[in-house]
Amino acid sequence: MEWFVGTVAIAITAFTATNIDDILILTIFFAQVDNKFRPRHILIGQYLGFALVILASLPGYFGGLIIDHKWIGLLGLLPISIGVKDLFQKQEEIMVQSCAVPEQGKSSLIAPQTYHVAAVTFANGGDNIGIYIPLFASSNAVSLSITIATFLILIAVWCYTAYQFSTHPVIAKFLTQYSDAIVPFVLIALGIYILYESKTYQLLPFVKL
């Protein structure tokens, strides 16, 4: 039983340490529910994006290639591109609304908004991959299964927490008024942070730091 508790504790620690910043992103997404997103878009997108992070980390378990952290940092270009795109779309509000709000009659789970959330989640997973690869490499099949199961449970906890933040009277009022304006800048800042923290700039031939 001790090994089980220890595995779960390590999984919780790893998930929390690598997803603190994700709370802010999810809170902003939930603040746009009924405007741009539906709760299912955010929940499914979060699980889809995180599933890609786990898949990208599995080479560590199989003893395969260890991805250079600088290359992982290139994921930061995803939220930057999304943020820049959103900035330009703000100039045509009618187009934004027509593209962002799905037709009520459609029941497809995989909507553009879902892919939007999944892309941001995956791009923000650079640090996750860098930590999960060695974590998975030190796991056996049972502990790996427990770790992944713990991660999947914690995603739901993260989404619920972010939803509660978004419905707090003060936070909700602020995000309702300003979320459309700040989201692009948050995404761009997130991408720059990922690029910087991963030292991706060292890939440039003229940077010798």
Any idea where the domains of the chain sit in the sequence?
2-203
Report the distance separating Cα 108 and Cα 9, nearest Å.
37
Report the sign of the C-alpha dihedral through residues 189, 193, 195, 199, in that order. positive
Q: Which run of H or of E encompasses 59?
A: helix 39-61
Q: Which two tokens stand for residue 137?
A: 């490499």
Q: Is the pTM of this model over 0.75?
A: no
Confidence of residue 157 (pLDDT cuts 50, 70, 90): very high
Query: Which residue type sits at 171?
Result: I
Instruction: Give residue 96's pLDDT.
Output: 40
Strands (E), the chain: none
Query: Which residue type sits at 140?
Result: N
Q: Which residue has the tokens 């914690």?
A: 154
Confidence of residue 99 (pLDDT cuts 50, 70, 90): very low
Query: Which residue type sits at 27?
Result: T
Report the distance separating Cα 37 and Cα 42, nearest Å.
7
* Residue 41 predicted with pLDDT over 50: yes
